[in-house]
Amino acid sequence: MASLQPVRGTQDLLPADQSRHRHVIETARTIAARFGYQEIATPIFEFTEVFSRPIGETTDIVVKEMYTFRDRSGDEITLRPEYTAGIIRAIISNGLTQNLPLKFFASGPMFRHERPQKGRFRQFHQIDLELIGVPQPQADVEVIEAGAEILDALGILPRTVLELNTLGDTASRRAYRAALIDYFGKYRSELSEDSQRRLEVNPLRILDSKEETDRRISQGAPSFDQYLNDESRKFFAGVRAGLDRLGIRYELSPRLVRGLDYYCHTAFEFVTEHLGSQGTVMGGGRYDGLMALMGGPDTPGVGWAAGIERLAMLIAEPPAEPRPIAVIPVGEKGEAEAPRVARELRRAGFHVELGYSGNVGRRMKRANKINARAAVILGEDELARQTAMLRDLDAGTQSEVPLSELAQRLAPFR
């Protein structure tokens, strides 16, 4: 039986945990809808190219983390490691680029073969927001605002800091990339193995390295600000002005980067000190080059993703589930009538627990165990009068109530 354990890096979401996850998702879904975002669901697995082409064959995600396999048809399939590429694929596949702008919200499981630690799993869950087809800075401001509103509704925002940076446009990034290669090339032998590999294909990621030697060397690296052209500076000024008008506070973080070439302009993260080293609770940015890279028309996009596990660890106890009403039959007539009474109460919006066996005492113990608010006792004498005994389990009082008035009389206990 020792082998009957969840796979390393996965977890069972028992009712209490699932309640926290559901609260995060439902809160995010509600706020996203207020901003006009429609919910979308994409497959949990896709052809590997959907992820490997945009993420890059040499990135850590593709090289080390993706769950990739060949199915029985011989197709190479990957469990999704992130949402954005799959959503862009769905837009292209379904011809939705004729209906821009598109605003999508999604939630679901992701898969990465990472080292499990607090707030990080190999099967994890995300909420995701994408705004496609708007090139202006106001789109970046909107998705950040929506993220802030969700965090605020969850009671998390005051414990986070919004870190903000600009990655510039393509020309700015190209110039900065060349400067980084020139700088880090002088220290090639001192860089970590990963950063030596990144030097040729993804030098911006060296700035994001957690290795102590890499971080020390990076301190002397040239600043991106030196290579931003006027257009990039104007775009970033527009984003900052929009956030300032909304009163959304942020801190500039020059080392906040995105290594892939399709990312541009705004990069941001909401971070907290309440989760140890896994401090990012929501992160995103602009990715104007992604759609074209995946074979669609050149279309701008901006969005973010947030880990549900991390958010669930930060929220207060979610609202309790409604306390159920226990329907307790007595005798054969009660047993026969109980399912109909339970159905009528459920249709009226009550949570109803119907006991399956045992005498009245045993069923009352069950009602107390499940924290029922009230019990509807269906005895033969009462049923002959078309009534039921209604017991308030908190007050300990009871009264006889016509069956036709049960829902009305139970309304205060809803």
Contact 198, 60 (CB under 8 A): no
Q: What's the CA gap between 274 and 312, in Å, rounded?
A: 12
- Report residue 410: phi and psi, to 5°: -85, -10
Q: How many CB atoms lie within 10 A of CB 413?
A: 17
pTM for the complete prediction?
A: 0.87
- The two beta strands, 325-329 and 160-166, are unpaired
DSSP code of 74? S
In one-letter notation, the amino acid at residue 289 is: G
What is the structure's pLDDT at 207? 84
What are the tens digits of pLDDT across the range 69-108? 999 999 999 999 999 999 999 999 999 999 999 999 999 9
- CA 264, chain centre distance (Å): 23
Alpha helix ranges (H) inside 102-211: 137-153, 170-185, 193-201
Per-residue pLDDT, averaged over 142-169, amounts to 96
- The 10 Å CB-count burial string (b at 16+, else e) for 55-91 is bbeebbbbeebbbbeeeeeeeebbbbbbbbbbbbbbb
Q: What's the CA gap between 16 and 142, in Å, rounded?
A: 33
What is the structure's pLDDT at 257? 81
Cα separations in angstroms, 266 against 143, 188, 230, 270, 362 = 11, 29, 15, 13, 62
Q: What's the CA gap between 370 and 366, in Å, rounded?
A: 6
Which residue segments constitute the domains of the chain, with CATH numbers given?
Answer: 15-169+229-314 (3.30.930.10), 325-413 (3.40.50.800)
What are the tens digits of pLDDT across the range 21-37? 999 999 999 999 999 99
Share of the chain above pLDDT 70, in %: 96
**Helix H or strand E encompassing 388:** strand 387-392
